[in-house]
Structure 1
Amino acid sequence: MAAITSSGVILKVAGNSQQYPPPFATVCPPSSASANSSKLFSSQLSFSSSNSCLSLRSNQTLLSPRLAKSSSPALIVASAKPEPLKIMISGAPASGKGTQCELITKKYDLVHVAAGDLLRAEIASGSENGKRAKEYMEKGQLVPNEIVVVMVKERLLQPDAQENGWLLDGYPRSLLQATAFMEFDFQPDLFILLEVPEELLVERVVGRRLDPVTGRIYHLRYSPPESEEIAARLTQRFDDTEEKVKLRLRTHHQNVEAVLSIYKDVTLKVDGSVSKEEVFAQIDSALTKLLDRKAISGSLAA
């Protein structure tokens, strides 16, 4: 059998132990047995064009087969899939969460769950909970937990989020919400906080517009619509006025520190006032390192 150490894989073939480099290394079976060995290798491995070496991915463990019919040494692969990413991203209104969520989900294929979108969909449906939520949002107040917590919980428990991992956008926003969320055992791997000066936030919000046809968000100054036709149909969200955004900012600042106290060990603070590319570079670096750690953990557990 094979064992994994901090320095690599110990592979035992035909009674001999041999140490191989860590994941992402190349393993070459003995030339005399390469024909038999290659048949037992997982299709996830790839052969080099120049020889019979096999490239290993980081989440694979080498094992020696016990049931091989041939006396020649042979190898099989047991793949341990890493746990999916569970990420939270927070920040004041117009801090750039939507833009970063788009970039993150595009690269890491996570399920984007926006608490604000869930609430707005509930409001648009005209349900009783939607009517109650709108009353609180118009006052710049947080929507009660009994409405939001269950809504978010049910979305994260759906199969796509459980299998691919999730990116929770704009939630939790208070200590009570974070505490209630932890009771459902939803613990993030990383809590990303985008920090932007308040005067810039107000400017971003007031100039923000929604295309009701495509759902895309534009900004009259920073990201104007591509044509007059699109510009003519743009709408402003009811809570994107200067008065309401200042109320929302006040609520955000009052609650964000309490939320950070819950996730302080996994918090990444990012300067959201720089370009979206620079913001994403910081986030991307953190997520890449996180995935590497999960891959190693998955290999050790295999």
Structure 2
Amino acid sequence: MGCSGSRENFVPEMQRLCYDMSPLTDAKLPIIWLIGAPGTGRDTQAAILEDFYSFDVLKISSLLKQHATNETDRGRVIKENFMKKNKLIPDTIVIDIIKEEILSRTAWANGFVLNGFPRNANQADMFVKEACDVDVILYLTCKVPTMVSRSLFKSDSNRLVDVKVEIALYNKHLAQGIKKYSAKIEKFDTTKDSPDIIFPKIQSAIDVRVFPDGNKKDNTNVHNIIDEN
């Protein structure tokens, strides 16, 4: 498992490793993809999910930034791509980093939330083929003007055109990436509702799809997390 990739994502100077993903499949841990363009509130909901369910949240962009500081072939490839305008990291690298991170935590994890994954169809297909299937896809949507406003506020930037282009490209690639997995998608519009209104809807979706036996946790710390974000 984990030794193949598309020609578009082939990195000739690097040899991909093979990963034994059986510890993950044997553990039968919940796998959740948390997706949505910048400004939809992914990070806030990820923090609530981590606190409420004790899931391990893997923020993909943060993992890539960490590896970009390593003096390795992989680190240099990531760093070079970050310096480019499109900032597109080869999908093979993204998938391998995620697999390594998951395997390092599987022994004590309660489940995984992949925050900001997948970004395209190839990443989605590679993960399912090389790692495991996904239980539920939490898709946060929002009206574009609201996403732009939130993104500009968060980044303290005036680059309106760049933000609009980034969101448009993100949504385009995301739509293609999850089209094949429509049966797993739970969609939530975050345009008007606050995080504390959105999360109970997310909780209900997870409880039905991941915990159908009704084994739910008590919602004790959600408001603290929301206040902090």
**In 2, are the aligned partners of 1:140 and 1:247 still within 8 Å (CA)?**
no
Gaps of 5+ in 1: 1-81, 210-219, 221-235, 297-302
- Name the structure 2 match of 1:276: 195
Partner of 1:202: 148
Q: CA deviation at 1:280?
A: 0.6
Note the alpha carbon deviations across 1:16-68, whole angstroms, 9 max, x for none. Answer: xxxxxxxxxxxxxxxxxxxxxxxxxxxxxxxxxxxxxxxxxxxxxxxxxxxxx
After the TM superposition, which parts of structure 1 deviate over 4 Å for at least 4 consecutive aligned residues? none
In the alignment, what sits opposite 1:112? 57
Aligned partner of residue 292 in structure 1, secondary structure? coil
Alignment deviations for residues 74-108 of structure 1 (CA, whole Å, 9 cap, x no partner): xxxxxxxx943211110001210000000011010
With CA pairs under 8 Å and 6+ residues apart, which has the higher RCO, 1 or 2?
A: 2
Q: In structure 2, do the counterparts of structure 1 residues 170 and 279 end up closer, same or farther at CA, with 3 Å as the change threshold?
A: same
Equivalent residue number for residue 162 of structure 2: 244
Aligned partner of 2:12 in structure 1 is none
Native 8 Å contact 1:87 1:168 kept in 2: yes
After TM superposition, the structure 1 = structure 2 runs for residues 70-219 of structure 1, keeping only pairs within 5 Å, are 83-125=28-70, 127-136=75-84, 139-160=85-106, 163-209=109-155
Work out the CA distance in 1 between the residues paired with 2:93 and 2:162: 21
Q: Give the Cα–Cα distance (whole angstroms) in 1 for the partners of residues 99 and 108 of structure 2.
A: 12
- Contact 2:31–2:135 under 8 Å retained in 1: yes
Question: For residue 224 of structure 2, what is the aligned residue in structure 1?
Answer: none
Aligned residue type for 1:244: D
Q: Which runs of 5+ in 2 are unaligned?
A: 1-26, 216-229
Query: Which amino acid is 2:80 matched to?
Result: R
Distance 1:97 1:173 in 2: 14
Alpha-carbon distance between aligned partners in 1 of 2:107 and 2:199, rounded to the nearest angstrom: 22
Q: Is 1:286 aligned to residue 216 of structure 2? A: no
After TM superposition, list the pairs within 5 Å mapping 1:220-259 onto structure 2. Answer: 241-259=159-177
Whole-Å separation in 1 of the counterparts to 2:107 and 2:178: 24
Closer, same or farther in 2 for the Cα pair 1:191/1:118, shift >3 Å?
A: same
CA RMSD of aligned residues (A): 2.4
Q: What amino acid sits opposite 1:267 in the alignment? A: I
| Aligned match of 1:69 | none
TM-superposed deviation, 1:295: 6.6
TM-score with structure 2 length normalisation?
0.72
**Partners of 2:138 and 2:186 within 8 A in 1:** yes
Greater radius of gyration (CA): 1
Q: State percent identity of aligned pairs.
A: 23
CA distance in 2, matches of 1:114, 1:156: 12
More helix by share: 2
Contact 2:39 2:151 in 1 (8 A): yes
Q: Secondary structure at the match of 2:211?
A: helix
Cα gap change, 1:245 to 1:265, in 2 (>3 Å): same
Larger fraction in strand: 1
Report the Cα distance in structure 1 between the residues aligned to 2:161 and 2:69, rounded to whole angstroms.
22
Is the alpha carbon distance of 1:244 and 1:118 closer, same or farther for their aligned partners in structure 2, counting shifts above 3 Å? Answer: farther
What residue identity is the alignment partner of 2:61? G
CA contact (8 A) 1:205 1:242 kept: no
Q: Does the Cα contact within 8 Å between 2:82 and 2:88 map onto a contact in 1?
A: no
Contact 1:111/1:161 (<8 A) preserved = no
**2:89 aligned counterpart, secondary structure:** coil
**Conserved? CA contact 2:136–2:210, under 8 Å:** no
Q: Report the Cα offset of residue 112 of structure 1.
A: 0.4
Give the counterpart letter for 1:254 in structure 2. K
